[in-house]
């Protein structure tokens, strides 16, 4: 190649090199700082809300929990033990202090430390949510990708209509109704699978299914739409111009871009899955946080309710943050774009 | 805002889709049951029969009985009223609270407003069920508490929606005008903003009502909603599931009711949203809308371009009677209608024409890159002696991948944003040349260096968004150099770039061509660019080549009236820049509505009856140039080119008048 010198090029090069940002101006540092700040604020709001919850309840929560027949002395003793007679700011400080030292208070009903109750119940819920999430992703991403390729511009109009309609209908069915239907078919009629508890591996099948079918339908739909859009992009034409194999174009060039957009919406889905465990656990008598929070609400065992709300909320926040971070890893532009 | 007529039409549109109709019928059924359910079945739903408890379905009790012997079906039908009333109450709470929260930032403004919208943003991040549980604790277990809980849990979403809608409307001119006139914010909100956002709010409230219904039955199912002896569907489900082994119908009947009602709201809302919003079209909308005359275009006789001399040995690309056809809603459209040309080794051929002339599609067609809904046909389409109309094969892909380089118009969108530049280049070598990752990356760095990307090693690890526009385009050219190209096809390579870097890219293309005898096909709407870089120029109009002339002869020896108009429209060094730029009067031809005869006739000052009846063939002259015009080279009446000022007046005239004018 001949090298006719073009001074303009060299000039442009040197100026762009000189403008290299310092480390604290690096996009990823700014991104991490912003994201950490947002997480902190959200956690603070969550903690304050869960503290406020007990004070927003009309009447005396302890009297409510112990019932109208409980002796006044007992109620008073419990109130003191809970610190409910202190001024509000003091109570708030105690609450925060407790959180930092891992003290979530004592159950009004069982008198057990709330930390123990949560610790005992958390693993079952976590297992359910994680498995359901993995199951829905494992089904939705390949399905959505495949359908995206099949229904790309100029292809598969009928397939598209059939899939879109089916997925809307499936996604509308609430998880607890899917659960009831699954109990009926596989538990009552066929008797193949256990419908209560988490004692065996088979016992996981139905709860995980009921929790993951709806989100899988939504996610597959999102992935398909994103895939179709991405396959129209200029850079896919570039990939075709490089004469890459179709599989490489679809999986290496299109899919990551489709997933970055799908992830944002998928994150919300994952958050609602965390909450969805509450209903599904109650269908299947799953010994997790979901069945505990419902019985605690009914028993007016407020410290336990407070703690579980906090745990669920934290779960959602962590999931959202994880989604943002993986989004940034997949698509570096999002770090800059996001405000 | 839509007129009443348009609205009626759109409603009809919603109701004629199968999904919309089904949903509407279901909704009506639910409404009827809400009113009549308790009236018709109220007594049988409460009739206790202790001799017949937990019975399975029978002709007497279609869905069996509960633990007091009450008829499940009757109870399910009766429960419609309470379920619906509670859902509507909940969604009313949600919309009301959402409106307050969503309008607050606008009303309060400043710091307080920002605080409210920040709070809404935090709340939106939490799933509705979690919020509902929180409020259920605060408001207590029971129907009232659950209405508040479901309602307030739905509020953040509506608040966010309201906020967005208010911001949109508040930005409109008449609202700003009212502000300037001193009208208060609250008044503006009530008088101008709310009426304008009512429609989307109602549609979303409909979808939301379905969600509220499902959420409410969820709460009742958990035992936190409606309490005995009252019952809604969720409560019936709660009672039914404990007896599911004895009488499954006790759980299935109310479950089905919830499902159908929820689906009815959701699907109806979605259909309305789709019918009133912009429907999502798959495929190219601009091609669809052109469908009307497409059939006519397809039937028009295929013009055959004058054959260039029999292909010589050094021909790299040989194109004969190339056509590109796209399907449309009503037929087909043919934006490229019989194009023939050759490109020799090391030759630079420019293709010029207005947008819609088919020049870019021609470039894509000869590179086998026309999108898959299009059909490419050609009498002959050969590149380096390989038939490009053959089906795809690994050998063909390898040959094209290493010998044909593409440069696209917009380097920003033409690189994959999620892959590092170096990897994107290296891919060519790993795919086609059997190189390992490291080796391929090494070659990529080398090529980036050769297109003068400074600090190529570091740059190769960067993402496209970290490159400047000019650098990206050079990197794109570098990508083409990963193989050993015999032909570079560049489609408007400088159009999207800053004027300052355009020349660098053109110089680079010229260098590559000179160094390795690489042929170049340069697509451009800019005659100056083409004349500068190319040896030969193909002028395209309405999907055909109308003139093929040497670049040197473009200014002086062009024969076709269109070419001459293009050349005359170029500002010269001596053009008085205070004068308005010359343009060609009339509009380019729509590919779906190509007229009979010469496509340029409507804009041509020399057009006569023959021009409008017969399409002139592309005829070769002795010097190798070609032209398609019945009156090639005839003197043009003065003025050939009108100034932009005249054009406004001319555009007002009908195209026919323009031609007929003496
Ligand atoms: S054929 Fe007739 S209408 Fe067409 S360019 Fe020539 S003179 Fe004009």
In chain A the beta strands, taken as DSSP E runs, fall at none
DSSP string computed for B369-393: -S-TTSEEE-SEEEETTEETTSPP-
For A261-288, letters b (16+ CB in 10 Å) and e give bbbebbbbbbbbbbbbbbbbbbbbebbb
Distance B528 CA to ligand 1 centre (A): 24
Residue A103 clears pLDDT 60, i.e. is over it: yes
- Strands B619-620 and B626-627 come out as antiparallel
Residue range B426-450: mean pLDDT, rounded: 88
Q: Nearest to residue B57, comparing CAs of B44, B33, B73?
A: B73
For the Cβ of B600 lying below 6 angstroms from any atom of ligand 1, the answer is: yes
Q: What is the CA B627 to chain-centroid distance, rounded?
A: 38
Q: Hey, what are B244's tokens? A: 């599911």
Position B287 confidence tier, pLDDT thresholds 50, 70, 90? very low
User: Would you state the pLDDT for residue A214?
Assistant: 87
User: Would you state the pLDDT for residue B5?
Assistant: 66
User: Would you state the pLDDT for residue B580?
Assistant: 52
User: Would you state the pLDDT for residue B282?
Assistant: 24
- Indicate the residue of B367, B431, B454 with minimum beta-carbon distance to A244: B431
User: Would you state the pLDDT for residue A332?
Assistant: 66
The interface predicted TM-score (ipTM) is 0.81
Q: What DSSP state is assigned to residue B303?
A: P
Ligand 1 pocket test, pick from B601, B628, B656 with the greatest ligand atom count within 8 Å of Cβ, gives: B601
Residue B299 clears pLDDT 60, i.e. is over it: no
For chain B, what percent of residues have pLDDT higher than 90? 12
Q: CA-CA distance, B631 to B597, in Å (whole number)?
A: 13
- Indicate the residue of B134, B373, B424 with minimum beta-carbon distance to A154: B373
Q: CA-CA distance, B66 to B49, in Å (whole number)?
A: 10
Q: CA-CA distance, B251 to A47, in Å (whole number)?
A: 38
pLDDT tens digits for range A307-319? 888 888 888 888 8
B527 DSSP β-pair partners: none
Of A43-57, A206-220, A322-336, B625-639, which gets the smallest average pLDDT?
Answer: A322-336
Position B517 confidence tier, pLDDT thresholds 50, 70, 90? confident
Question: Which range scores top for mean pLDDT: A89-98, A150-159, B650-659?
Answer: A89-98
For chain B, which residues make up each domain, given as ranges? 2-277, 346-369+486-662, 411-485
Q: CA-CA distance, A48 to A43, in Å (whole number)?
A: 8
| Tally of CB atoms within 10 A around A330 | 15
Which of the following CATH numbers is that of domain B2-277: 1.10.3720.10, 3.90.380.10, 2.60.40.1180, 3.30.70.20?
1.10.3720.10
Residue B67 clears pLDDT 60, i.e. is over it: yes
DSSP string computed for A174-197: -HHHHHHHHIIIIIIIS--S--S-
Q: Which protein residue has the closest C-alpha to ligand 1 atom 1?
A: B629
Question: Which chain A residue is nearest to residue B517, measuring alpha carbons?
Answer: A1
CB contact under 8 A, A153 and B371: yes
Residue B661 clears pLDDT 60, i.e. is over it: no
In a 3-state reduction of DSSP, which class is residue B140?
coil
pLDDT tens digits for range A223-232? 888 888 888 8
User: Would you state the pLDDT for residue B451?
Assistant: 87
Distance B618 CA to ligand 1 centre (A): 12
- Indicate the residue of A233, A302, A333 with minimum beta-carbon distance to B465: A333
User: Would you state the pLDDT for residue B362?
Assistant: 93
Q: Nearest to residue B106, comparing CAs of B168, B158, B153, B196?
A: B168
Residue B569 clears pLDDT 60, i.e. is over it: yes
Position A331 confidence tier, pLDDT thresholds 50, 70, 90? low
Residue B642 clears pLDDT 70, i.e. is over it: no
pLDDT tens digits for range A294-304? 888 888 888 88
Q: CA-CA distance, B542 to B544, in Å (whole number)?
A: 6
User: Would you state the pLDDT for residue B645?
Assistant: 41
Residue for token pair 């090029």: A9
User: Would you state the pLDDT for residue B488?
Assistant: 92
Pair B26, B213: CB distance under 8 Å = no
Question: Which range scores top for mean pLDDT: A111-115, A265-269, B578-582?
Answer: A111-115
**Tally of residues, chain B:** 662
Q: CA-CA distance, B39 to B42, in Å (whole number)?
A: 6
Q: What is the CA B451 to chain-centroid distance, rounded?
A: 34
CA A294, A300, A303: angle at the middle one, nearest 5?
A: 90
User: Would you state the pLDDT for residue B659?
Assistant: 36
Cβ-Cβ contacts under 8 Å for B408 (sequence gap 6 or more) = A234, A237, A238, A241, B414, B476, B491, B492, B493
Q: Nearest to residue B465, comparing CAs of B420, B407, B410, B408?
A: B420
Position A15 confidence tier, pLDDT thresholds 50, 70, 90? very low
Q: CA-CA distance, B166 to A146, in Å (whole number)?
A: 40
pLDDT tens digits for range B148-165? 888 888 888 888 888 888
Q: What DSSP state is assigned to residue B61?
A: S
- Indicate the residue of A17, A234, A297 with minimum beta-carbon distance to B408: A234
Residue for token pair 């208060």: B184
Q: Judge if B2-277 and B346-369+486-662 fold alike in CATH terms.
A: no
Distance B361 CA to ligand 1 centre (A): 24
Residue range B39-54: mean pLDDT, rounded: 71
Q: CA-CA distance, A218 to A207, in Å (whole number)?
A: 18
Report CA torsion sign: A91, A92, A93, A99.
positive
pLDDT tens digits for range A24-79? 667 777 778 888 888 888 888 888 888 888 778 777 777 777 777 778 888 888 77
The answer to whether A55 contacts chain B (CB < 8 Å) is no
Pair B492, B524: CB distance under 8 Å = yes
Pair B540, B546: CB distance under 8 Å = yes
In B227-352 the beta strands, taken as DSSP E runs, fall at 315-327, 332-344, 348-352
Pair B563, B633: CB distance under 8 Å = no
Q: What is the CA B352 to chain-centroid distance, rounded?
A: 27
User: Would you state the pLDDT for residue A251?
Assistant: 86
Distance A128 CA to ligand 1 centre (A): 75
The answer to whether A21 contacts chain B (CB < 8 Å) is no
Q: CA-CA distance, B493 to B162, in Å (whole number)?
A: 44
Position A20 confidence tier, pLDDT thresholds 50, 70, 90? low
Report CA torsion sign: B600, B606, B612, B614.
negative
| Tally of CB atoms within 10 A around A126 | 16
Q: CA-CA distance, B24 to B21, in Å (whole number)?
A: 5
Helices B128-139 and A255-283, packing angle to 10 deg: 30
| Average model confidence (pLDDT) across chain B | 79
For the Cβ of B611 lying below 6 angstroms from any atom of ligand 1, the answer is: yes
pLDDT tens digits for range B198-244? 777 887 888 788 888 888 888 888 888 888 788 888 888 888 777 77
Residue B304 clears pLDDT 50, i.e. is over it: no
- Strands B582-583 and B642-643 come out as antiparallel
Cβ-Cβ contacts under 8 Å for B45 (sequence gap 6 or more) = B38, B70, B71, B74, B75, B77, B78
Cβ-Cβ contacts under 8 Å for B518 (sequence gap 6 or more) = B346, B485, B486, B487, B488, B512
Q: CA-CA distance, B386 to A309, in Å (whole number)?
A: 68
What values do phi and psi take at B302, rounded to 5?
-75, 120
Residue B520 clears pLDDT 90, i.e. is over it: yes
Q: CA-CA distance, B184 to B175, in Å (whole number)?
A: 11
Question: Which chain B residue is nearest to residue A311, measuring alpha carbons?
Answer: B130
Report CA torsion sign: A291, A294, A295, A301.
positive
Residue range B369-377: mean pLDDT, rounded: 85
pLDDT tens digits for range B379-408? 899 998 888 888 888 888 888 988 998 888
pTM for the model stands at 0.76
Q: Nearest to residue A290, comparing CAs of A69, A126, A49?
A: A126
Position B317 confidence tier, pLDDT thresholds 50, 70, 90? very high
For B304-331, letters b (16+ CB in 10 Å) and e give ebeebeebeeebbbbbbbbbbbbbbeeb
Q: What is the CA B297 to chain-centroid distance, rounded?
A: 26
Pair A296, A193: CB distance under 8 Å = no
| Average model confidence (pLDDT) across chain A | 79
What values do phi and psi take at B642, rounded to 5?
-95, 155
Of B278-282, B311-315, B602-606, which gets the smallest average pLDDT?
Answer: B278-282
User: How far off is chain A from B123, nearest CA to CA, in Å?
Assistant: 9
Of B20-34, B89-103, B314-328, B449-463, which gets the smallest average pLDDT?
Answer: B20-34
Q: CA-CA distance, B375 to B324, in Å (whole number)?
A: 6
User: Would you state the pLDDT for residue B657?
Assistant: 36
Of B66-70, B165-169, B190-194, B506-510, which gets the smallest average pLDDT?
Answer: B66-70
Q: CA-CA distance, B370 to B363, in Å (whole number)?
A: 9
User: Would you state the pLDDT for residue B644?
Assistant: 42
Residue B288 clears pLDDT 60, i.e. is over it: no
User: Would you state the pLDDT for residue B336?
Assistant: 92
Q: Which fold has domain B346-369+486-662?
A: Rossmann fold (3.40.50)
* CA distance readout (Å), B501 to B413, B455, B472, B473, B495: 18, 19, 11, 10, 11
User: Would you state the pLDDT for residue A99?
Assistant: 82
Pair B233, B257: CB distance under 8 Å = yes
């Amino acid at each position: 190649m001949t090298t006719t010198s073009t001074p303009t090029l060299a000039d442009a090069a040197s100026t762009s090199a000189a403008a290299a940002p310092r480390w604290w101006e690096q996009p990823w540092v700014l991104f991490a700082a912003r994201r950490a700040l947002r997480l902190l604020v959200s956690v603070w709001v969550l903690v304050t809300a869960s503290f406020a919850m007990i004070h927003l309840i009309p009447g005396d929560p302890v009297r409510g929990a112990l019932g109208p027949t409980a002796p006044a002395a007992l109620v008073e003793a419990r109130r003191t033990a809970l610190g409910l007679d202190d001024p509000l700011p003091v109570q708030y400080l105690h609450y925060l202090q407790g959180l930092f030292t891992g003290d979530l208070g004592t159950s009004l009903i069982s008198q057990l430390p709330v930390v123990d109750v949560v610790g005992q119940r958390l693993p079952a819920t976590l297992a359910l949510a994680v498995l359901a999430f993995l199951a829905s992703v494992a089904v939705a991403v390949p399905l959505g990708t495949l359908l995206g390729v099949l229904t790309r511009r100029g292809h598969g109009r009928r397939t598209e209509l059939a899939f879109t309609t089916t997925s809307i209908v499936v996604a509308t069915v609430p998880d607890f109704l899917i659960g009831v239907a699954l109990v009926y078919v596989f538990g009552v009629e066929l008797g193949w699978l256990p419908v209560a508890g988490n004692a065996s591996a088979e016992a996981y099948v139905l709860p995980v299914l009921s929790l993951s079918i709806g989100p899988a339908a939504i996610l597959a739909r999102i992935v398909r739409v994103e895939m179709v859009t991405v396959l129209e992009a200029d850079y896919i034409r570039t990939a075709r111009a490089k004469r890459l194999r179709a599989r490489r174009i679809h999986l290496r060039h299109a899919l990551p871009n489709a997933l970055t957009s799908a992830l944002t919406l998928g994150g919300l889905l994952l958050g609602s899955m965390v909450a969805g465990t509450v209903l599904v656990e109650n269908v299947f008598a799953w010994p997790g946080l979901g069945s505990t929070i419902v019985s605690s609400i009914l028993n007016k065992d407020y410290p336990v309710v407070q703690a579980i709300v906090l745990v669920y909320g934290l779960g959602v926040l962590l999931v959202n943050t994880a989604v943002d971070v993986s989004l940034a890893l997949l698509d570096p532009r999002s770090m800059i774009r996001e405000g | 805002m839509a007129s009443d007529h348009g609205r009626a039409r759109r409603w009809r549109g919603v109701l004629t889709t199968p999904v919309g109709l089904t949903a509407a019928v279901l909704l009506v059924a639910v409404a009827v049951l809400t009113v009549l359910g308790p009236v018709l079945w109220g007594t049988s739903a409460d009739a206790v029969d202790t001799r017949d408890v937990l019975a399975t379905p029978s002709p007497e009790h279609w869905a069996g009985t509960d633990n007091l012997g009450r008829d499940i079906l009757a109870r399910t039908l009766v429960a419609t009223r309470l379920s619906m009333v509670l859902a509507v109450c909940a969604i009313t709470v949600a919309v009301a609270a959402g409106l307050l929260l969503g309008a607050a930032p606008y009303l309060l403004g400043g710091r307080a407003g920002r605080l409210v919208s920040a709070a809404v943003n935090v709340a939106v991040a939490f799933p509705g069920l979690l919020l509902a549980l929180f409020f259920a604790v605060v408001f207590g277990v029971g129907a009232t508490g659950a209405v508040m809980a479901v309602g307030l849990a739905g509020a953040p979403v509506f608040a966010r929606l309201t906020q967005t809608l208010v911001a949109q409307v508040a930005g409109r001119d008449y609202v700003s005008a009212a502000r300037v006139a001193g009208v208060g914010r609250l008044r503006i909100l009530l008088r101008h903003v709310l009426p304008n956002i009512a429609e989307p709010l109602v549609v979303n409230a409909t979808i939301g009502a379905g969600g509220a219904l499902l959420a409410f039955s969820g709460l009742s199912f958990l035992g936190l909603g409606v309490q005995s002896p009252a019952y809604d569907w969720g409560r019936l489900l709660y009672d039914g599931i404990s007896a599911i082994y004895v009488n499954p119908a006790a759980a299935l009947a109310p479950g089905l009711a919830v499902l159908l009602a929820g689906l009815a709201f959701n699907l109806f809302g979605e259909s309305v949203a789709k019918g009133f919003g912009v429907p999502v079209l798959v495929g190219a909308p601009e091609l669809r809308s052109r469908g009307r005359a497409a059939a006519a275009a397809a039937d028009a006789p295929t013009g055959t371009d004058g054959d260039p001399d029999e292909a010589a040995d050094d021909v790299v690309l040989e194109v004969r009677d190339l056509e590109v056809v796209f399907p449309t809603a009503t037929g087909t459209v043919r934006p490229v209608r019989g194009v023939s040309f050759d490109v020799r080794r090391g030759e630079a051929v420019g293709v010029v024409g207005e947008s819609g002339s088919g020049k870019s599609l021609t470039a894509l067609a000869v590179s086998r890159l026309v999108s898959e809904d299009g059909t490419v046909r050609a009498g002959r389409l050969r590149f380096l002696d390989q038939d490009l109309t053959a089906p795809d094969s690994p050998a063909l892909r390898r040959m094209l991948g290493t010998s044909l380089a593409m440069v696209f118009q917009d380097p920003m969108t033409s690189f994959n944003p999620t892959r590092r530049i170096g990897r994107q280049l290296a891919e060519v070598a790993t795919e086609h040349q059997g190189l390992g990752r490291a080796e391929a990356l090494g070659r990529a760095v080398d090529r980036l260096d050769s297109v003068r990307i400074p600090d190529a090693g570091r740059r190769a690890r960067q993402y496209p968004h970290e490159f400047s526009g000019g650098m990206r385009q050079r990197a794109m050219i570098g990508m083409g150099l990963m193989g050993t190209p015999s032909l570079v096809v560049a489609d408007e390579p400088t159009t999207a770039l800053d004027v300052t870097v355009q020349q660098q890219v053109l110089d680079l293309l010229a260098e590559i061509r000179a160094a390795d005898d690489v042929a170049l096909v340069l697509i451009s709407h800019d005659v100056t660019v083409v004349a500068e870089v190319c040896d030969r120029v193909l002028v395209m109009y309405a999907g055909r080549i109308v003139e093929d002339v040497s670049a040197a002869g473009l200014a002086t020896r062009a024969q076709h009236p269109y070419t001459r108009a293009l050349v005359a429209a170029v500002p010269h060094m001596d053009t008085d820049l205070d004068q308005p730029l010359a343009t060609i009067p009339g509009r380019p031809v729509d590919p779906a509505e190509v007229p009979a005869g010469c496509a340029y006739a409507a804009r041509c000052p020399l057009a006569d009856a023959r021009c409008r009846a017969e399409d002139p063939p592309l005829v070769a002259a002795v010097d190798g140039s070609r032209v398609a015009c019945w009156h090639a080279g005839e003197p043009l009446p003065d003025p050939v080119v009108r100034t932009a000022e005249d054009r406004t007046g001319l555009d007002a005239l009908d195209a026919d008048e323009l031609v007929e004018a003496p």
